[in-house]
Structure 1
Amino acid sequence: MPQSLPKVVFLDKATIPAHALFRKLSFPHQWVEYDFTSPEQLEERLVGAEIVISNKVVLSGETLRQFPDIKLIAVSATGTNTIDLDYCAENQIAVCNIQGYATRSVPEHVIGMIFALKRNLFAYHQDIEKGVWQKDKQFCFFTHPITDVAGSTIAIIGSGSLGQAVATLSSALGMKAIFVERKGATQVREGYVSFEEALQQADIVTLHCPLTQSTTNLIARGELALMKSTSVLINTGRGGLVNEDHLVEALKSGEIAGAGVDVFTQEPADTSNPLLANMSLPNLLLTPHVAWGSNSALQSLVDILLNNIDDFVAGKHSNRVV
């Protein structure tokens, strides 16, 4: 293939499951893809690249400085924390991301976790596995509280498209949805509840805000102490939003009733992570960062990714971050 064609390099295509279908880009190009790329492999793989696709590969200013041909970084996710956006802005490198693709998938995952925790489905499953039913000798047994989802107050931290979609589903199920004001805010916006009051009122707290310096450890020991002992915490946002050690303490002590976690401070997580080390807790439900990944959401992500690239080449600004 002629070298004059623009080179598109996908650094970590294996982050997208194989059943998501990639159409061809609308302009002549070279397409090069790698399942995963380590920092040591970047120097070789970015040579001649004009368009770089990356999900989780870190692209620092120091790295990008070595490759002046790069014109676009197409992030195949929403988060752009792995990209040096300041360097890109200063050096005319466009950056686009994927927006609005998981507004069904993430909210449904949140609702699924809520039902599992409020009705203690996992805890009952474990009890059956341990033989509790046979020992009880009754047609049913009640070793854990079962609470209704309808009538619950759900506090939503983050009022973007995902938070709004969670509110819509929650309301349809009979929950009262409240949006939470930023932690430390001096004024409460209309339609919001102050951070501390929301934690105290909520039967469910769900996180849908970005991870920044100000939101790191947004939920830690002090915040968990404000929550009801019957409440549950759901985190499908980012792992660093919650202090994982403090969350385990709260679950073990009964300070809160349960937690559903889809995101971790380090991914993939291993048993050095306090959540994985305590995953046998009956009130802790873990999933491996898959809330976003329904079949329809995955296909939508791929379609938006390719459209972003086509639009950039055509001179249009789609989902531009820089």
Structure 2
Amino acid sequence: MMGKDSAVKETVICTEAQFVKGEEIFRRYGSAYSWISCQEEEEQLSRCIRDSKARIAILGPDRYRGQLYQALTESAGEGPALIARHGVGYDGVDLELCKKNNIMVTITPGTLDQSVAEHSVALMLSLVRDIPAFDRSMRESRFTPVTTTELAGKTLGVAGFGKIGKKVATIASRGLAMRVIAFDSLTLEEQLSREGFGKEEFYGKYGLSEYYTDYFEFAESLDILTIHMPVMEETLNFFDAGRLSALKSSAYLINTGRGALIDENALYDALKAEQLRSAALDVFHSEPYAPESPVKDLRQLPNVILTPHVASNTVEANSRVQKNILQNIERFLQDRYDEMTRVV
């Protein structure tokens, strides 16, 4: 191992939830490091970093404001520090503070796509076929079959046409015979340039029927909306009352992307007023979930399915994430910075 001192194991701090997911792989493939698990709360995490003099921290999705960055910088001395995000989102990390404090930030692109896409499709099927309601009725000794509908032929709108959105589109079009349309801030020309495809090949690869950069044109014809957009300043509460009202009252909404993309109070109002048929959410503004308003608790609505941010939490996805993190740590310690999957 290469580190500050070849005779001493490099210390790696890992937040508790991420360590529970990855302990077996971290210890098996990262035996050259000294592992310390610490609570996610910033003050305690910063204390762990200072006490252990760690310059590497593996973080979950929690939001960190200031102390963490100072602690890592102090531990690193004159050299760089590393924040390795356990996943692909980094909206909880202050990139400007990282730049100012010589802290590199890595993510694990491509590791979660299949798991999140599968969960999105599972939620879609659960909504349309009303599976949770049927399960409840059976447990209450009520054998009450109700007619539902097929997904085949329905229009699925994919908001955010990145890797996960494209995976969902492929499953839906090829596996479920759905008509798929996409919305993204990138123009179609930019998408084609990135992938090196012509329009016909691009549409064919993902089973796409239409591509939009105007949300309201995109929203007016879809039957089911699945959200896979990144969180940025311009996308916070993107799905507000105005954008939700653009959907048909018979539409279903699924969010396995980021909780901050949806105005939860506006969603509650739309569902309560039956301006939307139903919704399935895996991500929330506050996690564990706490309603934005005490009188607008999504858990009290019968037309909502909720799961506790588990779309990416599979054995296979976790293994890919953890191996990617270990690879980034190794390259960091070997000064191979250009080979890391860095955002900063």
- In the superposition, the TM-score normalised over structure 1's length comes to 0.85
**Match among 196, 201, 211 for residue 192 of structure 1:** 211
For residues 42 and 304 of structure 1, what CA distance do their matches in structure 2 show? 22
For residues 301 and 77 of structure 1, what CA distance do their matches in structure 2 show? 7
Aligned AA (1:72): L
| Corresponding residue SS for 1:104 | helix
Q: Which residue of 2 aligns with 1:157?
A: 159
For residues 54 and 157 of structure 2, what CA distance do their matches in structure 1 show? 45
The alignment status of 1:15 with 2:18, answered yes or no, reads yes
| Corresponding residue SS for 1:288 | coil
The alignment status of 1:81 with 2:91, answered yes or no, reads yes
**Match among 108, 117, 130 for residue 98 of structure 1:** 108
The alignment status of 1:293 with 2:301, answered yes or no, reads no
Quote how far apart the aligned CAs of 1:159 are. Answer: 1.2
Q: Which residue of 1 aligns with 2:206?
A: none
The answer as to whether partners of 1:26 and 1:310 remain within 8 angstroms in 2 is: no
For residues 146 and 53 of structure 1, what CA distance do their matches in structure 2 show? 44
For residues 104 and 178 of structure 1, what CA distance do their matches in structure 2 show? 19
Q: Which residue of 2 aligns with 1:123?
A: 133
The answer as to whether partners of 2:10 and 2:34 remain within 8 angstroms in 1 is: yes
Shifted more, 22-31 versus 208-217: the winner is: 22-31
For residues 123 and 3 of structure 1, what CA distance do their matches in structure 2 show? 57
For residues 78 and 270 of structure 1, what CA distance do their matches in structure 2 show? 24
Assess, with a 3 A threshold, how the Cα gap between structure 1 residues 32 and 188 changes in structure 2: closer, same or farther.
closer
1:102-181 superposed matches below 5 A:
102-129=112-139, 132-133=142-143, 141-142=145-146, 146-172=148-174, 173-181=176-184
- The alignment-based identity, stated in percent, is 29
The answer as to whether partners of 2:11 and 2:35 remain within 8 angstroms in 1 is: yes
Quote how far apart the aligned CAs of 1:208 are. Answer: 0.5
Quote how far apart the aligned CAs of 1:46 are. Answer: 1.3
For residues 190 and 32 of structure 2, what CA distance do their matches in structure 1 show? 51
Q: Which residue of 2 aligns with 1:137?
A: none
Quote how far apart the aligned CAs of 1:27 are. Answer: 8.2
Q: CA-to-partner distance for each residue in 1:137-173, whole Å, 9 max, x for gaps?
A: xxx543xx51210111111111111011011101111
Structure with greater helix share of residues:
2
For residues 258 and 272 of structure 2, what CA distance do their matches in structure 1 show? 22
Shifted more, 18-27 versus 69-78: the winner is: 18-27
For residues 177 and 15 of structure 2, what CA distance do their matches in structure 1 show? 41
| Corresponding residue SS for 1:201 | coil
**Match among 23, 40, 44 for residue 41 of structure 1:** 44
Q: Which residue of 1 aligns with 2:35?
A: 32
Q: Which residue of 1 aligns with 2:74?
A: 68
Aligned AA (2:83): I
The answer as to whether partners of 1:120 and 1:283 remain within 8 angstroms in 2 is: no
1:137-286 superposed matches below 5 A:
141-142=145-146, 146-172=148-174, 173-182=176-185, 192-193=211-212, 194-270=214-290, 277-286=297-306
Shifted more, 264-273 versus 234-243: the winner is: 264-273
Uncovered stretches (5+) of structure 1, i.e. residues with no partner:
134-139
For residues 41 and 188 of structure 1, what CA distance do their matches in structure 2 show? 43
The answer as to whether partners of 2:228 and 2:256 remain within 8 angstroms in 1 is: yes
Aligned AA (1:304): N
Quote how far apart the aligned CAs of 1:20 are. Answer: 6.1
The answer as to whether partners of 1:8 and 1:30 remain within 8 angstroms in 2 is: yes
Q: CA-to-partner distance for each residue in 1:218-272, whole Å, 9 max, x for gaps?
A: 1121122111122100001111111111212222222111100000110011466
**Match among 51, 57, 61 for residue 52 of structure 1:** 57
| Corresponding residue SS for 1:162 | helix
For residues 27 and 293 of structure 1, what CA distance do their matches in structure 2 show? 21
Assess, with a 3 A threshold, how the Cα gap between structure 1 residues 64 and 25 changes in structure 2: closer, same or farther.
farther
Shifted more, 278-287 versus 301-310: the winner is: 278-287
For residues 230 and 257 of structure 1, what CA distance do their matches in structure 2 show? 5
The answer as to whether partners of 1:181 and 1:188 remain within 8 angstroms in 2 is: no
For residues 164 and 270 of structure 2, what CA distance do their matches in structure 1 show? 26
Quote how far apart the aligned CAs of 1:109 are. Answer: 0.6
For residues 58 and 228 of structure 1, what CA distance do their matches in structure 2 show? 34
Shifted more, 119-128 versus 97-106: the winner is: 119-128
Quote how far apart the aligned CAs of 1:182 are. Answer: 3.4
Q: CA-to-partner distance for each residue in 1:109-149, whole Å, 9 max, x for gaps?
A: 1111111111122223334455554xxxxxx543xx51210
The answer as to whether partners of 2:230 and 2:258 remain within 8 angstroms in 1 is: yes
Quote how far apart the aligned CAs of 1:181 are. Answer: 3.7
Q: How many residues align?
A: 311
